[in-house]
Chains A and B, each alone.
Chain A
Amino acid sequence: MKKFTSYPYIIWSVIFIIFPLLLVLLYGITIPSKTSFFGFKLSIENFQRFCEPIYLRVLWKSVWLAILSTLICLIIGYPFSMILAKSSLKRRNKFVLLIVIPMWMNFLLRTYSWMTILGKNGIINNFLRIIGLPALDLLYNDGAVILGMVYNFLPFMILPIYTVLTKMNRNILEVAEDLGANRFVIFSKIVFPLSLPGVISGITMVFMPAVSTFVISKLLGGGQYWLIGNLVEEQFLRINDWHFGSAIALILMIVILFAMAIMNKYEDKEDRGVGLW
């Protein structure tokens, strides 16, 4: 077969992938101008505007919450994957299926379910009322947003780590044991370093959607809760300031590229592509 069969896609990707991204770049580095022929002119004003404390605080908060929820996912997910990887094959398949099933449910529904649990008249507060304790404000705060992120993205951490752990050569562990290494040494010197590719793809797969989300923050954080994704949405759908919105989107992309560059430094080049796909 000839290579021309891919030409439709090449044209498609130029129109629908590359050109739109260039448009975003163009909008990001320009501002509207009445005097110019095109209706806009080159400027770094959008980025200067982003450097105002309100926006920087939003950026910092998004990054911080994403890091926190990634860490929590890692702390919950790593031991879980280890236990999973050590159980019998039949059990393992059953457990993996059980992890995957919630992922197949629409993530808006998964997030919505926490609204019904944490809400003012939700299940937890109703229970507290029955046993005579005062109701708590569980919804619409940082904790609820982190919970939503961890709940939605935990499988993304578990699956890559689990995959790497099951592929690990058991003989190495036995040799280490025979040579007198205790369990802590085996874990810190062998198991963990060898599982690093899985950990790294897990971190990337949790951090990326967490830092760019605007749904979880809107539903569990409330209408006045701002993450960087909410800023982008606001600029594009409500305020219609595409120039500033594009600049924010560019900054979001830079944050993610930066995070991926850091992760890549730790990644063993040969073990690439151990992710989900």
Chain B
Amino acid sequence: MVEKSIKKFYIFLVFLFLYAPILVLIIFSFNNSRLQGSWEGFTLNWYRELFKSREIMKSLYYTLSIATLSSIIVTIIGTLSAIGIYNMKSFRKKIILNINYLPVLNPDIVTGISLMTLFIFLKIRLGYTTMLLSHITFNIPYVILAVLPKLKQMPKDMPEAAMDLGATPFYAFRKVILPEISSGIVTGALIAFTLSIDDFVISFFTTGSGVSNLSITIYSMARRGIDPKINALSTLMFVSVLILMIIINKRSSNKLKREGV
């Protein structure tokens, strides 16, 4: 009995540690004072200022547009290269997969500075394009890693059978391979989208000329000190993540129920 309550208490403590800072952020986003320590009454002022802030709205736009564009491009390139890699001989496959792991295993800061060095070496002006190229680069590996296992699960002669029966390669791809690997593609695209939205370090090094995403804006605001606008922003971001997670969770548990698990 004692042991059980100790365990419960321990779990509670860890979750308290994980969630207390988030709760604090949320509560003080409604605080009618610039200082964080004490409660001065309820206000929605910081939310109003958040939406009025051009700096934040602009970076929100950049974040979403880069995440959308890069995840679409990445999903296409990643899926095609996963299919190509899957059909390769084992030696070349190994080399490519190892290269593919480099951006995953390298610390972000190394990927960031190496891309920055490349762009400046090639005399490309740092800005929106370079940030987009960098996001594509660090995201492709994740799509490949998500799609490749699905290809391995697919019976190897299925596309061949389709083509023997008269399907063109493209038709076989669309009607046979694509449905088999679609769940991997969706997972890969989602990972790419969230990683792109969340990225700070690589964007920080590869952007310039006033283009900044939300993370960079948060960083520069946080370095200036405490700003309740950031609290309001975190609250909104946390709530949207929460809603998204609940929807995904509901969907997957419904799916499990339908499949009778």
Contacts and interface: CB of A to CB of B under 8 A. Distances in A.
Interface stretch (B44-52, B53-61, B217-225): B217-225
Contacts of B215: 106, 108
Contact of A83 (B11, B144, B222): B11
Nearest to A82: B7
Interface in B172-214: 172-173, 177, 194, 198, 200-201, 205, 214
B161 interface: no
A126 B84 contact: no
A253 B81 contact: no
Contact of B21 (A114, A236, A252): A114
A219 B24 contact: no
A15 B118 CA distance: 9
A100 B242 CA distance: 10
Interface string A6-43: 11111011011111110110010000000000000000
Interface stretch (A165-173, A184-192, A206-214): A206-214
A121 interface: yes
B88 interface: yes
Interface string B108-123: 1110011111100100
Interface string B76-109: 0110111111011000000010011011011111
Given A27-B117, A236-B113, A83 B83 contact: no
A109 B14 contact: no
Give the size category of B's interface with A.
35 or more
B216 to A, nearest CB: 9
A123 B36 contact: yes
Contact of B226 (A3, A105, A116, A209): A116
B241 to A, nearest CB: 5
A222 to B, nearest CB: 10
Nearest to A257: B105
16 contacts: A2-B84, A2-B169, A17-B99, A18-B99, A19-B118, A23-B117, A98-B18, A107-B198, A121-B36, A121-B37, A122-B37, A155-B18, A212-B108, A219-B219, A236-B116, A277-B146
